[in-house]
Amino acid sequence: MSCLFAARLAKAADIAMIGTWTEAIDAIRRRGILIEGLRGAGVIRVDSHYIGEPAAPADLVIILVKAWQTGTVAKHLAGYLRSDGIAISLQNGLGNLDLLGERVSPGSTAMGATLLGPGHVQPGGEGLTQMVASDWVVDLFRESGLEARRCNADEAESLLWGKLCVSCGINALTALLRIPNGGLLERPDASALMIKATEECAAIAKLKGIVLPFADPALYVREVAKRTATNRSSMLQDILRGAPTECDAINGAVVREANRFGASAPVNEILRQLVRAAGDKTGVISKHADS
């Protein structure tokens, strides 16, 4: 996702990518971001730096790292952000904003991408990005050809939990079964588990007083799986390349929130355990860490 957004935003702004994945940073420095499209591959040149290296403070920082990398970003964020700059998290899962601090605003994106290699990405279709941000940030996105709108903090929380519901239903199951999103709809047992995991998340959102951006969680997750049928979820991509996943910040986060209310989320807990059993090494530094 970082490569996709950097490539698109480079049409309207000077972009620098900060990351931890050595092979990706080196590839971007050497040849730029490689974007696959309907008419073949294109190359977009941007600056790139290893996290911790000095770089000019930015007017806007967009945080797209995996949830397990958020703590590392938090340590370096102030050095990359102007005193009057804006930082926005477009990450998956819960807990990122708590680690990043009060200078970071929430957002949610429906954009998708498949990582094909270091600095090499294939867009997964267009989607709306909604964020708590100044008008100039929204204008920048639109100038870059990205669909964007400004939202308030309550809307952002609703969107975050709405995306979490879908991620709980789709990501872990597709990673475990090694199938694209639409494959869940072709397997009745998998489809039933997808719905149960989604509904557990929706139930916890209701306990927290959060109004989701859809009325029927089961119907909505099925619609998303159908609309993104050929996409490989980010968790499936992580499992396939031997990288840590965000399962603990997605399914695991729902379990922790449920426990706070004396409730339970058994399907999400089982999915979390199965992803860990399948080889997820969340929290372990990996050479495959995203930029």
Contact criterion met (CB below 8 Å) for 156 and 128: no
* Tokens 């990582």, located at residue: 115
Instruction: Catalytic residue, from 163, 206, 226, 287: name it.
Output: 163
Alpha-carbon distance of 82 to 85, in angstroms, equals: 5
Q: Quick count: other Cβ atoms within 10 Å of Cβ 187? A: 14
Could you write out the three-class secondary structure of the chain?
A: CHHHHHHHHCCCCCCEEEECCHHHHHHHHHHCEEEEECCEEEEECCEEEECCCCCCCEEEEEECCCHHHHHHHHHHHHHHEEEEEEEEECCCCCCHHHHHCCCEEEEEECCCEEEEECCEEEECCCCCEEECCCHHHHHHHHHCCCCEEECCHHHHHHHHHHHHHHHHHHHHHHHHHCCCHHHHHHCHHHHHHHHHHHHHHHHHHHHCCCCCCCCCHHHHHHHHHHHCCCCCCHHHHHHHCCCCCCHHHCHHHHHHHHHHCCCCCHHHHHHHHHHHHCCCCCCCCCCCCCC
Whether residue 163 lies in the annotated active site: yes
Alpha-carbon distance of 187 to 182, in angstroms, equals: 10
Pairing of strands 129-131, 120-123: unpaired
Active-site residue set: 163
